[in-house]
């Protein structure tokens, strides 16, 4: 399998919340809690640390969608403020909660694919 195919496979597995190694076992127990290891291949998920990455992507993407939609609606229809609240509060929940799990899975599977880990300091000559 070429590197490009492996990357596509990692993206697909991540978006579906599957194990980055076998693609069969689930990454999550519950909504966002990680399992300790893959139930299918036994991969230890201790390496997985998406940090604040998923939240940042969701905030940027969801914020753009909601603010853009609210601005367009305000400019074209000039609705009362209560209608803005009725329209955009549910949309905010939808565009933030719905993609959060998929983006967290994607970042963890990409972390595994690229063997990314926390930066460490090394003394000179020490590799």
Nearer to Zn ion, 10 or 95 (CB): 10
**Rounded Cα distance, 86 and 45, in Å:** 40
Under 8 Å between Cβ of 39 and 26:
yes
CA 81 from chain center: how many Å?
32
Whose tokens are 């983006």? That residue is 103
Contact residues: Zn ion, CB under 5 A:
19, 21-22, 25, 38, 40-41, 43
CB of 11 to Zn ion, least distance (A): 16
Under 8 Å between Cβ of 109 and 10:
yes
CB of 94 to Zn ion, least distance (A): 30
Nearer to Zn ion, 25 or 54 (CB): 25
Neighbour count for residue 38 (Cβ, 10 Å): 20
Nearer to Zn ion, 10 or 38 (CB): 38
- Sign, CA torsion 18/23/54/63: negative
Nearer to Zn ion, 27 or 58 (CB): 27
CB of 38 to Zn ion, least distance (A): 3
CB of 43 to Zn ion, least distance (A): 5
* Token pair of 113 as six digits: 């694919």
């Amino acid at each position: 399998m070429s590197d490009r195919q492996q990357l596509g496979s990692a993206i697909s597995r991540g978006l579906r919340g599957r194990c980055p190694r076998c693609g069969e076992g689930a990454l999550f127990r519950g909504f966002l809690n990680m399992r300790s290891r893959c139930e299918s291949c036994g991969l230890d998920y201790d390496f997985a640390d998406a940090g604040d990455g998923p939240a940042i992507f969701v905030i940027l993407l969801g914020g753009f969608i909601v603010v853009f939609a609210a601005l367009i609606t305000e400019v074209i229809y000039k609705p009362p403020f209560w209608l803005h609240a009725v329209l955009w509060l549910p949309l905010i929940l939808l565009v933030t909660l719905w993609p959060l799990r998929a983006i967290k899975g994607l970042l963890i599977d990409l972390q595994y694919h690229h063997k990314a880990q926390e930066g460490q300091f090394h003394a000179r000559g020490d590799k």
